[in-house]
Chains A and B, each alone.
Chain A
Amino acid sequence: MNTPATDVDSTLDATARARDLVGVSRLTNSALTGWLHGLPGVDQVGCEARAAGLGTRSIKTTSKAWAIDLAISMIDLTTLEGADTRGRVRGLAAKALLPDPSDLSTPRPAAVCVYGDMVTTAKEVLGDSGVKVAAVATAFPSGRASMAVKLADTQDAVRAGADEIDMVIDRGAFLSGDYLTVFHQIAEVKKACVRADGSAARLKVIMETGELVTYDNVRRASWLSMLAGGDFIKTSTGKIQPAATLPVTLIMLEAVRDWRDLTGTMVGVKPAGGIKTSKDAIKFLVTVHEIAGEDWLDNHWFRFGASSLLNDLLLQRQRMTTGAYSGANYIADDSPSTAY
C-alpha cells in the first residue's frame, strides 16, 4: 500500500523552498505572515455544516467492512501516560501484531505510538513486522522547552529506532504571530529526524488545534507545517480538549489537497484524540475520500491517533463476520485503555 515516491525529500532545504513558494529573497516573519494571512478564510458555520453533511453518509455492508479494515490499518495505537511501563508497552505492541487472535485475517495497525524512552521496548516486540514505532518528541505535549532539548529529545528517539517522530509546534509562538520561529523549529526537527545512514524518520507535526481555536488558525498552521517540511500534519496531543474534530480534520484535508495542487507533494493527515467509535472513524474516512480524495485512503497518508478505537473496530469487525455482537470480553486486550 505504500507509495513513498512522493514523500517529502529528507534532504529538503525547507527555507530555500519556502523562499521560492512565498516568492521572497529572504524568509522573514512578515513575509510568512503575508503569505499565511493571504490564504482564503474559513467560514465557521459553513465548514461545520459541510462536516456534518459528510457525517450523514450511510456506509453499510461491503463498504463498511472495507472501511473498518482500512481504519484498523491506519491506527497509531497509542499510549502516552506517565504511568506507562515496559510491560504495558510490550502488551500494546503485541496487540498491534495480533489485534484479534480469533481472526488472523484482521489487519495490523500502522504503528505503535509511545514516549521516546519506550521506543526500544516497542521495537523489541515489533521488530521488522512492518508495524512502525512512532515516538512523541520535542517536550511533548506542551513543547515548552529550549530548542536544544527538543532536538536532543528527537535525536534520542530516532537513534533508539523510531520510524516516525510526532513533534509539537510552539503554540505560544504561533499565537503571538511569530510564524518564523515555528517554521524554523519544524525545519530543525526535520533535520534531526535524519539517521546516520541518510534515511529519515517521518515527521508528524502536532498543531494542537484545540489551543489554536479558530479554523483560520488551523488552516494557517497546516500550511506553515507543510512549508517547513512536515510529512504529516496532526491535530492534537490528546491531552487538550477539543482534540480531533471532524471540521478541523476537514480543514487539514483541504490544506493537503491544495498543497499538492501547488507543489506536487503529498502530506499526510493524522487526527488524534477523541475518536473512539467505528462510526466516528468511518465519518473521517468519508471526509478523506470526498475532500482530499482516494490517494489519501492509505495508511501512508492518513492515520488515526487512538487507543480505544481499535477495540471498537474489532468489535464491529467481529459482528460483520459472525452476524452477532460479542462483547468487550471477546476482544483480547493486554493493555486496556485507562486514558483517552
Chain B
Amino acid sequence: MPTFEYAPAPESRAVVDLQSSYGLFINGEFVDGGGTSFKSISPATEEVLAEVSEATDADIDKAVAAARSAYTRVWSRMSGADRGKYLYRIARILQERAREFAVLETLDNGKPIKESRDVDVPIAAAHFFYHAGWADKLEYASLGTNPRPHGVVGQIIPWNFPLLMLAWKIAPALATGNTVVLKPAETTPLTALLFAEVCQQAELPPGVVNIVTGSGPTGQAIVDHPGIDKIAFTGSTGVGKMIARSIAGTRKKATLELGGKAANIVFDDAPIDQAVEGIVNGIFFNQGHVCCAGSRLLVQESIADEFDRRLKRRLGTLRVGDPLDKNTDVGAINSRAQLDRIVALTDVGEGEGAVRWDSGCALPTKGFWFRPTIFTGVSQTHRIAQEEIFGPVLSVLTFRTPQEAVAKANNTPYGLSAGIWTEKGSRILWMADQLKAGVVWANTFNQFDPTSPFGGYKESGYGREGGRHGLEAYVKTGA
C-alpha cells in the first residue's frame, strides 16, 4: 500500500531579521531597560531567539511620562481623521510585512505557521483597518454624548496570540485618542517589539505607543502607576482578580478578558462531520491556548459513542510537529511552565477516573510538546471539567435534554464562549438565550472578526473588545 508522506515544507526564517537583544520602546525609540535582561526562546526547539530587557519601575515612569506627554501635546489634539490615517498606515504595513510577522510569531510562540499566517496576522491587520474607520466617527457610534479618551492606557497582553492581542488593545485605544503603555507576555515579546518598528515606520508620533517588556512585577508596576487612567488586561482569571483588587478605590477604569471553560454542545441532529471539525478546531486550534477554547464537549448521549469514534479518527490525522512546517496542524506548547501545568491537570484527570486517550503520534525530542488528548467519562465534579487547562485537552461529557445541556454548560464560574451544533434553528436561538456566555457560536467555533464584540460573563471578565461595544471601554462620555 502506498503512503502519502508529506515532505517537509518549512517556511523560510530568512524573512525575519532577529537582533540578539532588544531594549524597551519608549517615546518612539528603543532604549535600554534598567532591569536584568531575560531570554525569549522558541518553545519548539528551546533555541534562544533574543535577549529582552526587563522594565523597572523607573522605566515604567518614563514610558507613562512619554505617553502622557504624547497624549496632551499631540494625540488628543489631533483630529479623528488624522488619527485614522496613522491607523490605516499601520494596517497596511502589517499586511506588507505579514510574512515576517507570521514567521516571528511562530518562532516565538510555537503556533503553526498556517495559523499565524492565516489567522493571527490578517486579523491583527483587520483590527487596525476597522478601528481606523471609527477614528473620525466616534460622535456617531452611539457611545453617549461627547465621547473622549481616558488618557494613558496601560495594556497587558497574554502569550497565546501575542500580535493579535496587541492589535485588539492598541487599535481601539489609538482610534479613540488614548495613548498606550503596553506590556507583552514575557515568553512572547518579539512580535510586539517588531510592531514597535512598524510604529517608527508609520511615523507615529513618539510616545503614542510605548512597549515595555518584563514579567509579573512589570505588569504590576503598570497597574499601580498613578499616571495610568485605564487598564486593559487579557490573561488568567487569577491575575485579573489581582488587578481588580489593585485598582479598587482608584479612579482607574478596567476591562478584563480572562479565562474560560467553554462548552461545545453537540445535539443528535447536528451536521456531524462539521461538528467533529468544530470540536477539533475548538480545542486543538493554537494548542488549546485559547481563552474561549471549547474545552468541554457536551454531546447528546444518543450519539456519544458514534461521535467519540469519529472524533478519535479525526485526531489521528492531526499533524503535530515543527510549527514552521506549512502542514503542521498543532504546534508546541508555549512554555515549560505551561506544559507542566497541562501535565499536572491531565494526571489529575486520570486520577479522578476519567478515561484518557491520545493518538500516540510521534513528538519532537526537543522543545515543549503535548499530544492532543481526549478525556471521556468526565463528570462535572472532575477538576478537568472545572479548571481551565489551557492546552490541547478535551473533556467529554454527555447530556440527555436541551435543558440539561444548558444547565451543565452554565455550571462553571466562567462564561466566555459556547458552541451549539444542531440543524434546528429555533433550538439555536433558545440555547443562545439561555447560555451565560459572552460569545455563542452556532454550527461553527473560534470565529473572530473586528466588527464583533468579544468578552465574558462571570469570572471570564468584563468589558468587550471589538465592534462598536469595544469602543465604549476606551471613551468617557457626558458633560
Contact = CB atoms under 8 A, between A and B. Distances in A.
B9 A294 contact: no
Given A60-B9, A63-B6, A50 B277 contact: yes
A279 B3 CA distance: 19
A310 to B, nearest CB: 20
A interface SS class:
helix
A58 B326 contact: yes
Most buried by A among B6, B270, B423: B6
Given A40-B270, A43-B443, A67 B1 contact: no
A297 B327 CA distance: 19
A232 to B, nearest CB: 20
Interface in A64-91: 64, 66-67, 70
B150 to A, nearest CB: 39
B17 interface: no
A60 B118 contact: no
Interface string A143-181: 000000000000000000000000000000000000000
A46 B1 contact: no
Contacts of A196: none
Contacts of A47: 273-274
B118 A56 contact: yes
A336 interface: no
B272 A40 contact: yes
Contacts of B114: 56
A6 to B, nearest CB: 13
A61 B10 CA distance: 12
Given A43-B443, A45-B443, A59 B6 contact: yes
B269 A289 contact: no
Interface string A11-54: 00000000000000000000000000000111101110110000
Nearest to B9: A58
Contacts of A285: 4
B34 interface: no
B381 interface: no
Contacts, number: 73
B273 A42 contact: yes
Contacts of B317: 290
A195 interface: no
A59 B444 CA distance: 28
B7 A64 contact: yes
Interface of B is mostly: loop
B116 to A, nearest CB: 13
Contacts of A67: 4
Given A40-B270, A46-B274, A46-B278, A297 B4 contact: yes
Interface string A263-295: 000000000000000000000011001100011
A41 B4 contact: no
Contacts of B8: 60
B277 to A, nearest CB: 5
A60 B5 CA distance: 10
Contacts of B273: 40, 42, 46-47, 50, 254
Given A57-B327, A294-B1, A43 B6 contact: no
Interface string B98-142: 000000000000000010001000000000000000000000000
Nearest to B270: A40
B271 interface: yes
B185 to A, nearest CB: 28
Given A58-B9, A62-B7, A41 B444 contact: no
A298 interface: yes
A50 B274 contact: yes
B2 interface: yes
A44 to B, nearest CB: 9
A40 B269 CA distance: 7
A66 B7 CA distance: 10
**Among the interface residues A41, A49, A297, which one has the most CB atoms of the partner chain B within 10 A?**
A41
Nearest to B303: A40
Interface in B289-342: 317, 326-327
Interface string B3-40: 11111110000000000000000000000000000000
Contacts of A41: 269-271, 423
A50 to B, nearest CB: 5
Interface string A288-310: 01100011011000000000000
Contact of A294 (B3, B118, B274): B3
Residue picked from A45, A47, A61, A63, most chain B C-beta under 10 Å:
A63
- Residue among B2, B8, B271, B326 with max Cβ neighbours from chain A (10 Å): B271
A286 B271 CA distance: 22
A60 B4 contact: no
Given A57-B327, A60-B7, A61-B7, A295 B271 contact: no
A290 B317 CA distance: 6
Nearest to A288: B4
A254 B114 CA distance: 25
A286 B317 CA distance: 11
Contacts of A286: 4
Interface of B: 1-9, 114, 118, 269-274, 277-278, 317, 326-327, 423, 443-444
7 contacts: A40-B272, A42-B273, A43-B271, A46-B443, A50-B274, A57-B327, A285-B4
Which A-B residue pairs are the 3 nearest by beta carbons?
A: A46-B274, A58-B9, A58-B326
Given A42-B271, A56-B118, 10 more contacts: A45-B443, A46-B278, A47-B273, A47-B274, A50-B277, A58-B326, A60-B8, A66-B4, A294-B2, A295-B1
